[in-house]
Structures are given as C-alpha cells and as structure tokens.
Amino acid sequence: MPTVSSEELAAAAGVNSAKLRKDFSYLGSYGTRGVGYDVEYLVYQISRELGLTQDWPVVIVGIGNLGAALANYGGFASRGFRVAALLDADTALAGRLVAGLPVRHIDELETIVADNQVSIGVIATPAGAAQEVTDRLVAAGVTSILNFAPTVLSVPDGVDVRKVDLSIELQILAFHEQRKAGDDRPEPDGDVPAVMPA
Amino acid sequence: MPTVSSEELAAAAGVNSAKLRKDFSYLGSYGTRGVGYDVEYLVYQISRELGLTQDWPVVIVGIGNLGAALANYGGFASRGFRVAALLDADTALAGRLVAGLPVRHIDELETIVADNQVSIGVIATPAGAAQEVTDRLVAAGVTSILNFAPTVLSVPDGVDVRKVDLSIELQILAFHEQRKAGDDRPEPDGDVPAVMPA
DNA sequence: CCATCTTTGTGCACGCGTTCACAAAGACAT
DNA sequence: ATGTCTTTGTGAACGCGTGCACAAAGATGG
C-alpha cells in the first residue's frame, strides 16, 4: 500500500506540514499514525470533497476564439466537467463542429439547460451580450456562471458568478517586473510601499 | 475638483473604509482631511504604482484559439500591454493576420525579444511545447512568463512564472454548487468540513 | 480669527489562521 | 508482550492582518 507522510507532501507543496495535517483533518481522519496517508484513498477523498467525482454538465456560450479554446481545453473532462452544448448567436456558426461538438443556436439554450440539468454556464461572448446571456441562463435554471467577458454581471441572490480577467495575471507579472527594475534606480518621488499582489 | 471619500469607495467596493484608507496610506498621503481623495490624482497614483502607466511589450507564443483570443483581448492595450509579436511554430500560419498582427515564425523569437526589449512572454502552446518555448524565452532575456499550457514550467531563479488554469475557476463554482445541493441531503458518510475556496 | 464640521491617517486591540510542540496511536522488531 | 520508532491529530501560543476609534488636519462659515 503506497503511502505518503504529511512531511513529504508539505515539502512537495512548499507548505507547513502541520497546516497540511490540520487541513486534511477537516475532511476526516484518513491517515495512519506512524505510516502516513494511503495515497489512493486520500486522492479519492479529496476528489470527492472537491466535487471531482461528480458529473458537471456545462454550456459554453459564445464560440469565438476563447469559446473554442475552452471547448478544446483538456482539463475539463478530467475534472468531471462535461460540455453539454456550445451556443452562439451567429447562425452562420450553427452546426459547425468545434472540439467534436456542433455549435447550436442560442435560442436552444432553455431547452438544453432543462434537458441536461445544466447548473453551470460559461460566458465567452463579447461584453455587450454578456448580461443578456446571463439573464437567460439564470431564467433557465443555471445557478453558477463563469464570466470571461469584461463586464460585471448582475444576478439575483443564490446565483454565483466568478469573473475571469485574462489580463490580471499579466498585470501582476508586470507589477513584479517593475519592482525588479526599480530595485536599481530609486522611485521618482518617494515612497515604495510594502504592499504587493501575492 | 471631483473628490471621493474613503467611505464612498469602501461602500462601492464592499470593504471596510479603514482598511481602504490604510492601504492607500502605503502609497503615500494623497487624501485631504475633511474632503477626501482627488479622483484624478488618486487614479494616476494607483495606475503608476501598479505599472499601468508603463509600456509593456509582450510576445504571445502559440497562436491557436487561445492565443488568438488573447491577441484580440481588449483589456491588454488599456493596461499598458503592447503585443510586440505573435509567434507560432506552424509555418502555415506565418503571415496570417490575427488581431491586425501578422503571425511570425517561432525562430524569430530571439530577434524580436531583443529588438523590442520584451521582458514578458505569454505561452499559449500545447503542453508539449511549453517547456522548450520557455527555455528559449528565458535565454532570449524574458524574465516573466504567463503560462496557459497545462504544465508546470521550470525556470531559473529570477524568472517569474504564473500559471493560469482555466478550469480552476470552474472547479470552484462546482464546489459551491455541490454545497448548495448538499445542504438538503446529508453527506454520504459523515463529515462536512468547514473549509472552502474563497 | 475662531468655531465647527468633515474626513484622513494611524495607534491599538481583537480575532483568526498558522505554526509549534506533544500526547496518542499504530507499526514493527525482538 | 513489551519497547521503540514513526507519524498523525490537535491543544495552545504566536503573529499578522483587519477593524475600531480617535486625534490631527484641513475646509468652510460666521
């Protein structure tokens, strides 16, 4: 039975082993004293806790470059996500295959969400269309939305929205880059604050 | 002179006004007691501190769907990022226009990085090509890398890497979704831990 | 010029999460 | 069995960030 100790895992992850053990303890007592954690069992328990063992049907709305990239993204299937449908307002796209799936018209949204019990929607439309799509998704029964469009969406209580801004990470890199350069020459007028993104 | 108080800003951002004032104070004393913060001046100071006022030339490597989506992403230009070049290993793509820029061959990487003093590279290649591209970028002088490929990159000290996993946000939504559903029926065997992603 | 009012900037206290440190548990050898 | 050794699980201490509360600063009006 292959096992790992909290010490090994902590070293690999670069965190404190006590914290790791305490975190695991919230999921239950899955370790064996003097031995460590059974790898296979631990993986299963964490997967289950994170919802990776469930099947999550999702719809992707807006099949431009980003939508197509998401549809092709390999990481989805392995984490329990199943693309139930690709939707776009452009009728010219309808029927075209993207990542092996036919693009369907946005008007099929309601039917598809209902038939597949979709609770998660991904928005990869232009900013202008995002709110309308959101409203339709919510009305159709979707309760979680991942928004790639550069707009703040308003949703009723009980609906979760997460906004992904592809440039934020770039901005964090630029911030650090500025710091690297700035270590040589002093700042133009004064203060170098102690704050910084993680 | 249009001004804004820490109280107003805090309410809009949904945070504590004291924390906001303390955060601002790290950048210097830009407020006026009894009045608030001069909006224009505050915006400028924060922009400068974040590096938004600088020009950041970047190269995007791997012009598939994701690379193309990034090249078209509007949020870049407004934050000081300038796409110096689009690179791909596929010679068939060479010369094709994406977001108004011609795709150039990966072998031009070294020249382009040197000529434009590029310090930030974006990797949107398949996982298999990511490490090699990274090595070439680093050798050419790039010191910050934004990695969209599903691989962990190894880089020498002094080089920053940020990895973007497009499915992580989806996973967080699924986690909360699971919780919503789980509030009704009890968990299969026991413990509902108190931990959760933000 | 003084009084009053508003809002900043910050010392201080509180609370929460991280880390330390160790008792308890189990494996394994003798 | 008994002892030794390893590693977990967790109570307690510590440290850091958040929020409170107020003095200082400046605006504004009489």
Angstrom distances, CA of residue B7 to CA of B12, B35, B66: 9, 11, 40
- pLDDT at residue A29 in the model: 87
What are A25-66's pLDDT values in tens digits? Answer: 999 889 999 999 999 999 999 999 999 999 999 999 999 999
Option in B56, B72, B169 nearest A174 (CB): B56
What are A185-198's pLDDT values in tens digits? Answer: 444 333 344 333 33
Chain B: closest CA distance from residue A51 (Å): 6
Confidence of residue B154 (pLDDT cuts 50, 70, 90): very high
**Angle between helix A109-116 and helix A127-140 axes, rounded to 10 deg:** 40
> What's the one-letter identity of residue B56?
W
- pLDDT at residue B196 in the model: 38
Task: Please check the confidence at residue B65 and state whether its pLDDT lies above 80.
Answer: yes
Helix (H) or strand (E) holding B115: helix B109-116
Q: How far is it, in rounded angstroms, from Cα A152 to Cα A160?
A: 13
- pLDDT at residue A26 in the model: 93
The tokens for A45 are: 């328990």
DSSP output for A118-133: --EEEE-S-HHHHHHH
The CATH fold of domain A3-50: Arc Repressor Mutant, subunit A (1.10.10)
Count CB atoms within 10 A of the CB of residue B46.
Answer: 14
Arch. (CATH architecture) of B56-163: 3-Layer(aba) Sandwich (3.40)
Confidence of residue B133 (pLDDT cuts 50, 70, 90): very high
Task: Please check the confidence at residue B189 and state whether its pLDDT lies above 70.
Answer: no
Name the nucleotide with the smallest C1'–CA separation from A3.
Answer: D7
Q: How far is it, in rounded angstroms, from Cα B113 to Cα B109?
A: 6
Q: How far is it, in rounded angstroms, from Cα A36 to Cα A38?
A: 7
What are A71-130's pLDDT values in tens digits? Answer: 998 888 889 999 999 999 999 999 999 999 999 999 999 999 999 999 999 999 999 999
- Interchain contact, A170 vs B76, CB within 8 Å: yes
Angstrom distances, CA of residue A175 to CA of A79, A130, B73: 32, 29, 20
Residue A60's DSSP bridge partners are A86, A122
Q: Using a CB–CB cutoff of 8 Å, tell me whether B58 touches chain A.
A: yes
**Domain spans in chain B, listed from the N-terminal domain onward:** 3-50, 56-163
Distance, Å, B37 CA → C5 C1': 18
Among protein residues, the one whose C-alpha sits closest to the C1' atom of D6 is A34
Q: Using a CB–CB cutoff of 8 Å, tell me whether A113 touches chain B.
A: no
Confidence of residue B127 (pLDDT cuts 50, 70, 90): very high
Q: Using a CB–CB cutoff of 8 Å, tell me whether A50 touches chain B.
A: yes
> Is the distance between the Cβ of A37 and the closest atom of strand D smaller than 7 Å?
yes
Distance, Å, A32 CA → D2 C1': 21
Confidence of residue A183 (pLDDT cuts 50, 70, 90): low
Q: Using a CB–CB cutoff of 8 Å, tell me whether B173 touches chain A.
A: yes
Return the C-alpha torsion angle A47, B194, B183, B174, nearest 10. -40
Taking 3-state DSSP, the helix, strand and coil percentages for chain A, each rounded to the nearest 5, stand at 40, 20, 40
Q: How far is it, in rounded angstroms, from Cα B58 to Cα A189?
A: 27
